[in-house]
Structure 1
Amino acid sequence: MEVSDQVLIERTVQRQDRHAYSQLVRRYQSRLRQALRALCNGDDALADDMAQEAFIKAYKALAGFKGQAQFFTWLYQIARNQLMSHYRKKLPEPDSEKVESLGRETAVEDACELTRRDLHRAMAELSSAQREALHLTYQLGHSNEEAARLMQVPVGTVKSHVLRGKAKLKTLLQNRQGNLTHATR
C-alpha cells in the first residue's frame, strides 16, 4: 500500500526523515522533469537542474507547506518560479528573426507528415504563457482550473492562452506543411 504524500511530508518535517522525502522525490521527479522540459524548450540539462533545485528548495521549505494544494502543485510552482527567475537573470528574449531562419534552414523531410521537430519549432514561436498553458492542459492532462492554479492566473486567462496558442500552432503548422509541399514540387 502506497503511503500518502501527507504522511511522507509529516514524517519529513516532524522526524527529519530523509527517506520519507526521498520517496516523494521518486514519486514526482519524472513528472516534474517532464513538465520543466516543455518550459525549457527542450533543454533537458536545464530542466534536470531546475528540478533538482526545486526539490532542494521544497525540502528546505517543507515545514511551510500548508496542504492547501497537492504537493506536486506546490512543487511545480517552486520549480516554475525558479525557472522564470533563471530566465530573467541568464537568458535574453528569443530573437524572432533567428527563430524564422531556423525554420527556413530545415531540410524537406516528408510532405505528408508533420514531425515532432516541426511541432517543437512551432511551440517555440508561441508566447511562454501559451506554451505553458498548452503543455499543462494537453501534454500533462491538467484541467483548466488546475493549470490556472499552477500558473497562478485566472482560469479565463488559461483558456485564452490555450485558444490563442492552438490557433497560432494551427497556422504555423499549416504554413510549414504548405512550405514542404511547395518545396517537393
Structure 2
Amino acid sequence: MTISDQTLIARVQANGDQHAFSQLVRKHQSQVRSWARRLCNGDEHLADDLAQEAFIKAYMALAAFRGDAKFSVWLYRIVFNVAASKWRKKKLDWCNIDEQPDIAAEACELHQFAASEDITRAMQVLTEPQRIAVQLCFEEGFSHDEAAQVMGVPLGTLKTHVNRAKAKLKVSLASWEQG
C-alpha cells in the first residue's frame, strides 16, 4: 500500500518523522533528479548535488508547507530556486532546457531523427522562460497554475510564455504540417 504525500507530510510536520520524509524522497527523487539534470545541462553530478540540496531545504521548510499546491509543485519550485541561486552566483551554467541526450541515428528511424532535430532547432528560438514553461507544461505535465508556481511567476505571465512559445514553434515547424 502506498501512503499518500499528505499523510507522510503530516507525519513529518507532527513529529519530525525522518522515515516518513525518506519515503517522500524515494517517491519523488527520480523526477527531481530529472528536473535538476535539465536545469544544469545534463550534468548528472551537479544534478545530484542540486537534488540533494533541494531535499535538505524541503525537509527544513516542510513545517511551513500548507498544502496550497501539490507537494511535487512545491518541491520543483525548491529545485528551481536552488539552481537559480547557483546560477546567480555563477556556480552553474544556466540550462538549455530543451536539450535531450543525443539520439543515435541507428537506434531510430530517419523520420524520428529529423523530427527531433527540427524540434531541437525550433526550441532554440524560444526565450529561456518560454522553454521552461513549455518543458513544465508539456513534458512534465504540470497545469499552467502549477508551472507558474514552479517558475515563481503570475499565471498570466506563464500563459503568455506558453502562447508565445507555441506561436514561435508553429512558425518554426510549419514545414511538418505540409509534409
Fold shared by both chains (TM-score > 0.5): yes
How far 1:46 moved relative to its partner?
Answer: 2.5
Cα offset for 1:31?
1.4
- Give the aligned partner of residue 33 of structure 2: 33
Contact 1:133/1:158 (8 A) holds in 2? yes
How many angstroms apart in 1 are the aligned matches of 2:162 and 2:65? 30
Unmatched 5+ stretches in structure 2: 95-104
Residue equivalent to 1:11: 11
Alignment match, 1:55? 55
Determine if contact 1:39/1:132 at 8 Å carries over to the other structure. Answer: no
Whole-angstrom distance in 2 between the partners of 1:169 and 1:33:
27
Whole-Å Cα distance in 1 between the matches of residues 6 and 157 of structure 2?
31
What is the root-mean-square deviation of aligned Cα atoms in Å?
2.9
SS at match of 1:69: coil
Greater mean deviation of Cα atoms: 115-124 or 81-90? 115-124
Give the TM-score normalised by the residue count of structure 2: 0.74
What is the total number of aligned residue pairs between the two structures? 162
Task: Give SS of 2:31's match.
Answer: helix
**Which AA in structure 2 matches 1:36?**
A
Contact 2:86 2:92 in 1 (8 A): no
Q: Is residue 126–residue 165 contact of structure 2 (8 Å, CA) maintained in 1? A: yes
Instruction: Tell me if structure 2 keeps the 8 A contact 1:32–1:51.
Output: yes
- Distance in 1 between the 2:135 and 2:51 partners? 17
Q: Which has the larger radius of gyration?
A: 1
- My pick for the range that moved more, 59-68 or 81-90, is 59-68
Taking only the aligned residue pairs, the percentage that are identical comes to 51
Give the 5 Å matches for 1:94-105. none
Residues 1:23 and 1:120: Cα distance change in structure 2 (over 3 Å): farther
Q: Is the 8 A contact 1:130 1:164 kept in 2?
A: yes
Q: What TM-score comes out, normalization by structure 1 length?
A: 0.72
Contact 1:41–1:124 at 8 Å: present in 2 too? no
Unaligned segments of structure 1, at least 5 residues: 95-108, 178-185
